[in-house]
Structure 1
Amino acid sequence: MLNLDSIDEIFSKHSINAVIHFAAMKAVGESMQLPLLYYKNNMIGIINLLIAMEKYHVYNLVFSSSCTVYGEPSKLPLTEYDHTGNISNVYGRTKYFIEEMLKDISKADLNWNIIALRYFNPVGAHVSGKIGEDPTKKFTNLMPYISQVAIGKKPVLEIYGSDYDTVDGTGVRDYIHVMDLATGHIAALKKIMSERLGIKFYNLGTGKGWTVLQLISIFEKVNKVKVPFVIKARRVGDISSMYADVSLAETDLKWKASRTIEDMCRDFWRWQTLNPNGYKTKL
């Protein structure tokens, strides 16, 4: 993505109708420690893509955005019309800046047809257990961390902050099964291939929030495992609560998440137990 010539070569060899852009670095904690890396990868990567798309007259884009563009919510649930930009971490700012850039290009050239999907918190794995999330660095999402503790790869789960204004003091997030997220992209792709939109934004979530401790409890119950944990201080850049109003995606995209929090925990554990060392044993 950082090599414009490589992207150009792909477009020159293939007849492309639309692009789904996933290629970003996404760990909030890491982004606070390595801001330049995040700005370089996330911002320059999509600029190169947009240059190539414009050159080859490919104007249909589904962009992987994030609920982090909302910052600390002033009210919940969050709708697509709520304020964006008051963001507490570098990762979220890269998504926000890209959204603003996409607004600008869609105004300047009416050929552009863009949907930005604001993900909430994707978890789970493919039901087969063959495709899942295999963390490659210490900055990882919550469920892989829970799962690695449960299988014995890590001794204890560290929970960052227990003094948030939530039912049990731990942070609240809207978790969405990765397979529901996948069908959301198919719905978005169908939308931009059939209608002229300019640019539209959609939340992809379930509309319900769960605390960290609730997620741990459900994971333990569904999978019959134990997940020991310790409480640590809050991390810089984290927020207390966030969950989505998903009615716009349901109305416009004819899409709705169908899998439960129990499905997410069960499917991820299946991936973890079938692949205790991740993909490394497959190499």
Structure 2
Amino acid sequence: MPKWKNVFVTGGAGYIGSHCIVELLEAGYDVIAVDNFANSVNDNGEAISLKKVEQITGKPVAFYQCDLLDKPKLEEVFSKHEIDCVIHFAAIKAVGESMQFPFMYYKNNLIGTINLLEVMQAHGCQQLVFSSSCTVYGNPEHLPITETHPTGNITNVYGRTKFFIEEMLKDVSAADKSWNIISLRYFNPVGAHPSGDIGEDPTKPFTNLMPYIAQVAIGNKPYLTIFGGDYETTDGTGIRDYIHVMDLASGHVAALKALQNEHLRLKVYNLGTGEGCSVLQLIKKFEEVTKTKVPYKIEDRRIGDIVSMYANANLAKEELGWQAKCTVEEMCKDFWRWKIKNPNGYKTDAVKQVANGTTHTSTSVTQNGVHK
């Protein structure tokens, strides 16, 4: 059994949060999760994704509908449980949307995090794994990107919120040595749980690339929009480091164990594969794996996007004992299994089946064509 028992997960009903909770439960932790359903599917206050997690693992998840901007509610949840560590996923995270609605991003991501940190401190819980992003590096000065790469020269509002939170964590941990924090800068999560029972089901018209590819492949959308076909890359499309969501999930468990074993104050790790993959390469691999066709149109570059980025994740391997294992092919296979099994996403009829203990889930859709 793990030394710590109760892990509090913010944004637990979301894509990465729900997959991470599977790994936490299977590693022997108990999970208390909150979500405000800003980018996850809500059925009368119930998190459908977490009902599926309970079916996958055979273990319960304590869940509360709670917005981090609602500090009294957050206090209430903390008062009900003895929390050992927090994993903080909750954030709105679409680059394009952040450029259009900066106030919404700063309020939700920054104030929500401040409330969380204050409540944690008040309850004597100062162990935190923070979900950061490779966007803090801005337009990279060198590739692959190491953790020592400069941060702050960021091209979009979403990335700036992650950068500002990281800077805040530096100040908090410097002011009070009780804090023990790992910030995980992840690259581009894709894929789904191998069961096909949980996956990415975006609720907004701003989404990551693979759900959109799958929507086109399954026939729900006529074509994929690629933003920018004239970048200085091998095929003109942007290059990213795609990482399987289950590899990402295992990275959080590795970070949790590191915090248990040593008082680190504040450490930062990249989570990525170290391999760059262009948008067109990902489309071709998806077509090859799924035996489908994904028509696409190339449009102008999008404000806030960058050309190319991929990780050097050696530090996580050396210090956390973690490395990505899944191939791009496996990412495509697992996401397609989720999509075929659940073509309409986490919908209401699926919830009824979950309640009855039968198997069925989903993925839903959006419009937009490219990644973080």
The alpha-carbon deviation at position 151 of structure 1 amounts to 0.4
Question: How far, CA to CA, are the matches of 2:74 and 2:205 in structure 1?
Answer: 30
Mapping 1:82-161, distance limit 5 Å: 82-161=149-228
Q: What's the secondary structure of 1:206's corresponding residue?
A: coil
> Partners of 2:229 and 2:192 in 1: how far apart?
28
The Cα shift of 1:269 comes to 0.5
Residue 135 of structure 1 and its aligned partner are, at CA, apart by 1.3
Among residues 262, 272, 277, which one is paired with 2:339 in the alignment?
272
Establish whether residue 199 from structure 1 lines up as the match of residue 275 from structure 2: no
In 1, Cα distance between the equivalents of 2:202 and 2:254? 28
Pick from 159, 166, 169 the counterpart of residue 233 of structure 2.
Answer: 166
Distance in 1 between the 2:74 and 2:108 partners?
Answer: 14
Alignment correspondent of 1:27: 94
Match of residue 276, structure 2, among 209, 215, 225: 209
Structure 1 length-normalised TM: 0.99
Q: Does 1:257 align with 2:324?
A: yes
Displacement of 1:13 after TM fit? 1.2
Q: Which residue of 2 aligns with 1:43?
A: 110
Name the structure 2 match of 1:7: 74
Residue 193 of structure 1 deviates from its aligned partner by 1.1
Q: Which residue of 1 aligns with 2:285?
A: 218
Q: 1:148 & 1:140 partners in 2: Cα distance?
A: 11
1-side partners of 2:111 and 2:70: how far apart? Answer: 9
CA distance in structure 2 between the aligned counterparts of 1:251 and 1:10, rounded to whole angstroms: 36
- Measure how far apart 1:137 and its partner are: 1.3
Instruction: Give unpaired runs (5+ residues) of structure 2.
Output: 1-67, 352-372
Q: State how far apart, in whole Å, the 2-side matches of 1:184 and 1:80 are.
A: 16
- Report the equivalent of 2:122: 55
Q: How many Å apart are 1:12 and its aligned residue?
A: 1.1
Q: TM-score, structure 2 length as denominator?
A: 0.76
1:241 alignment partner, SS class: coil
What SS class does the counterpart of residue 144 from structure 2 fall into?
coil
Q: CA deviation at 1:225?
A: 0.5
Superposed CA offset, 1:38-73 (max 9, x none): 111100111000000110110100000000000000
Gaps of 5+ in 1: none
Q: 1:77 offset after TM fit, Å?
A: 0.3
Query: C-alpha separation between the residues in 2 aligned to 1:202 and 1:6?
Result: 31
Relative contact order, CA 8 A, sep 6+: which one is greater?
1
Q: Partners in 2 of 1:190 and 1:228 — Cα distance?
A: 44
